[in-house]
Structure 1
Amino acid sequence: MFRHSLRTLVVGLCALTAASPAATAMALTGSVPGDQHLGAYTVTRALHARTLADLATGMKGEAFAYASYSLFAVQADREGRPAVGRLFRATADTELNEHLRQAAALAGTVGTDAADLRQAISGETYEHQVMYRRFAAQARADGDLMAARLFTELAADEGRHRDAFRAALRVVTTGRGTVPPPPVADPVTVPAGLPKVKAARTLANLDTALHGEALAHAKYMLFAAHARQTGNAALARLFEGTAKVELREHFAGEAVLAGLVRTTRQNLRRAVTGERLEATTLYPGFARRAAAVGDTAAARYFRDTAADEARHATAFQQALDRLR
């Protein structure tokens, strides 16, 4: 997984990143649709609030790792390094389809279709009304006009997402009407390059936004899988289409301004640093806290994930050592 920024670790998550309220009110016995790696982590009691917060932090980092490594893979391909591209893609797949899914199942992130829509509406409302508007105003004040324009555009997009989810919720709860069609992403190409903003505040806001967009993509894909399980294909398509916008358009556009992608050598170095931090510090700390409050399944998940991240760090270091 990618290194968590200090801000990510210490700032409370917005409504979109919060675990399902059901996770703190009742036993967690469900699983995430389509995942075959959850049996060892199934729990039958409510998790401690600290454990839920640690799971939420882990999910945010895993989603960011998936999105970032996917871009790093494209850059490796551009440089004629297909083996490194395959390594980044394989690791990205593990972060999203094993680590994040397992954490989501433990946290009870996926609920009923109506609950999932309410969670999505809450997150989109916050980003539309508060986060992106504030980021745009701050970027404008700091002279980062490109970022201000992007944040303003994304605020409008998130408002449209909220409205579509509200309409879908009315259909789900009343049985009347039609779920809106999914939005169509306008993919953004992310070349290697330095940040295109000058203010530290703008760069920090881009980091926050990147993590949020990556998590929205991951969660909406989980919600889509659940909607398909319940037979609601139209809702699944809405979640999937919105997820693609969040990743291929919003995350990618912010990545360009943030200078997220560098040369493959630099990308590998950053990945090694992040994976080692999580293997030696982040996840072991989460595991100790979970064990101390009796959340044994979560503690086991954190320990297992730490071991995975150590293997990722080794693989990335070996790939770095082979570069000429």
Structure 2
Amino acid sequence: MKGEAFAYASYSLFAVEADRQAYPAVGKLFRGTARTELNEHLRQAATLAGTVGSNAANLSESIKGETYEHQVMYRGFAAQARADGDLAAAELFTEIAADEGRHRDAYRAALKVVTTGHGTIPAPPKADVVPVPAGPPKVKAARTKANLDTAMHGEALAYAKYRLFAAHARQTGNTALARLFGGTADVELHEHFAGEAVLAGLVRTTKTNLRKAITGEHNEATVVYPGFAKRAAAVGDTTAARFFRDTAADEAKHAAAFRRALDKLG
């Protein structure tokens, strides 16, 4: 699911850059593909994996993830970036670590309300939206670049999962919890992922973005999902095997569509 979530987040940014470069058809293609990755592929994978549970279970899972990112992952990334001289990355990682601690605390308070029936669900955080212009990486060390990639995949997945958790909360009548999950999801994507994308140089020219998308979709169509399908079939999980085969076919179509778009740009 991380790959699908990352594709959604990346393609959404690539669409903005395509619009900026006056390539509206390419922007539309990136947005449509992003929606497929999030609303079809990731959602189906989440259903097969049983990602969404009760509101209490979803909160417990979220607390676990936020605690790890607050106490371990981002603090470690910040220390490494500082040691490698990437001070802007160290500062960003430190800021995000603090944010994740606040998210954890809000989820803990919400879990208490859900389990006891007493109290008030905390208000959702508000994302400080970070624009992501095209440009090269703003960090030097290979380790920092790798950590940014890990962090972006984690933030993209958190966004997608919290969106699913918000939908479940809304379906069960807990609109306050839905707002908390939704607001936190927006912070993960529009603030954390975006800030990391700026430092990583994720967005380049539209032609470069298309080439990157083609490479990724081709790999998923010919290597990743066929491999997953083979392993699922080998253990008798026919439903998952069929999903992986169908997704591989979709990714091949995405790669072809991106190739046609690139060819039209010349």
TM-score, normalised on structure 2? 1.00
Per-residue deviation, residues 35-57 of structure 1 (Å, max 9, x unmatched) = xxxxxxxxxxxxxxxxxxxxxxx
Superposition pairs for residues 252-267 of structure 1, below 5 Å? 252-267=194-209
What is residue 209 of structure 1 aligned with on the other side? 151
Q: Aligned runs of 1:39-54 on 2, under 5 Å?
A: none
Q: Which has the higher helix share?
A: 2
CA distance in 2, matches of 1:277, 1:130: 31
Identity %: 80
Q: Distance in 1 between matches of 2:177 and 2:224?
A: 36
Distance 2:7 2:219 in 1: 13
Q: Which amino acid in the other structure matches residue 271 of structure 1?
A: A
Output the amino acid matched with 2:261.
Answer: A
1:245 equivalent in alignment to 2:187: yes
Deviation of the 1:225 alpha carbon: 0.2
| Counterparts of 1:272 and 1:211, CA distance in 2 | 19
Equivalent position of 2:5 in the other structure = 63
Superposition RMSD in Å: 0.3
Deviation at 1:145, TM superposition (A): 0.2
Question: What is the alpha-carbon distance in structure 2 between the residues aligned to residue 245 and residue 272 of structure 1?
Answer: 28
The amino acid of 2:159's aligned partner reads: H
Q: Give the letter for the 1:118 counterpart.
A: S
Structure 2 SS opposite 1:180 = coil
CA–CA separation in structure 1 for the residues paired with 2:21 and 2:237: 45
Q: 2:218: which partner in 1?
A: 276
Does 2:129 match 1:187? yes
Match of 2:173 in 1: 231
Letter in 2 for 1:243: A
299, 306, 311: which one aligns with 2:248: 306
User: CA–CA distance in 2 between the matches of 1:196 and 1:177?
Assistant: 45
Structure 1 match to 2:50? 108
Q: Distance in 1 between matches of 2:94 and 2:181?
A: 22
Helix, strand or coil at the partner of 2:95: helix
Query: SS of the residue aligned with 2:147?
Result: helix
Q: Displacement, 1:132?
A: 0.1
Q: What secondary structure sits across from 2:61 in the alignment?
A: helix
Residue aligning to 1:83: 25
Alignment of 1:2-41 (within 5 A): none
| C-alpha distance in 1 between matches for 2:217 and 2:75 | 33
Aligned residues: 266
Specify the SS of the correspondent of 1:265: helix
Match of 1:159 among 67, 84, 101: 101
Q: Provide the C-alpha distance between the structure 2 equivalents of 1:202 and 1:270, rounded to a whole number of angstroms.
A: 20
Q: Which amino acid aligns with 1:79?
A: Q
Distance (whole Å) between structure 2 residues aligned to residue 153 and residue 272 of structure 1: 34
> 1:118 and 1:180 mapped to 2: Cα distance?
16
C-alpha separation in 1, matches of 2:216 and 2:74: 27
Partner of 2:265: 323
Task: Name segments (4+ residues, structure 1) moved above 2 Å.
Answer: none
Measured after TM superposition, the shift of residue 278 of structure 1 is: 0.5
- Out of 120, 145, 155, the residue aligned to residue 87 of structure 2 is 145
The separation in 2 between residues aligned to 1:288 and 1:202, in whole angstroms, is 35
Instruction: Supply the distance in 2 between the matched residues of 1:282 and 1:290 (Cα, whole angstroms).
Output: 12
In 2, the alpha carbon distance for the partners of 1:107 and 1:189 equals: 33
TM-score by length of 1: 0.82
- C-alpha deviation, 1:86, in angstroms: 0.1
1:296 is matched with 238
CA distance in 2, matches of 1:193, 1:259: 5
Gaps of 5+ in 2: none
5+ unaligned residues in a row in structure 1: which ranges? 1-58
- CA deviations 1:14-37 (Å, max 9, x no partner) are xxxxxxxxxxxxxxxxxxxxxxxx
**For residue 161 of structure 2, what is the amino acid of its counterpart?**
K
Q: What do the CA deviations read for 1:156-205 (whole angstroms, capped 9, x no partner)?
A: 00000000000000000000000000000000000000000000000000
SS in 2 for 1:270: helix
Partner SS state of residue 177, structure 1: coil
Q: Which amino acid aligns with 1:169?
A: L
Structure 1 residue 286, shift from structure 2 partner: 0.2
